[in-house]
């Protein structure tokens, strides 16, 4: 019997999360939800990933926004 994870982030890479958030919100709205430079100043997926991998508090905010987005809240 295989156990299924209830974690909505299970199996999601940070790149996939950021890509889906950008597709849903766009860079401008994403930067308003989470006001960090990597979303507001010359944004790109790669620069955002580099920053988020080094900054746990920002990554947590991105993951929380993603969970809210997929849950429809």
43 vs 18, 37, 49, 68, CA distance in Å?
11, 8, 10, 22
Encode pLDDT of 15-71 as tens digits.
999 999 999 999 999 999 999 999 999 999 999 999 999 999 999 999 999 999 998
- Compute φ and ψ for 38, nearest 5 degrees: -65, -15
- The full set of domain ranges for the chain reads 14-71
User: 14-71 sits in which CATH class?
Assistant: mainly alpha
pLDDT band per the 50, 70, 90 thresholds, residue 4: low
**Residue 40 and residue 64 in contact, taking contact as beta carbons nearer than 8 Å:** no
């Amino acid at each position: 019997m295989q156990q299924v994870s209830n974690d909505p982030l299970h199996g999601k890479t940070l790149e996939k999360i950021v890509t889906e958030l950008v597709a849903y919100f766009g860079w401008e709205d994403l930067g308003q939800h989470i006001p960090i430079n990597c979303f507001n100043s010359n944004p790109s997926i790669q620069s955002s990933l580099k920053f988020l991998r080094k900054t746990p508090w920002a990554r947590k905010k991105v993951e929380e926004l993603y969970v809210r987005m997929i849950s429809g809240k």
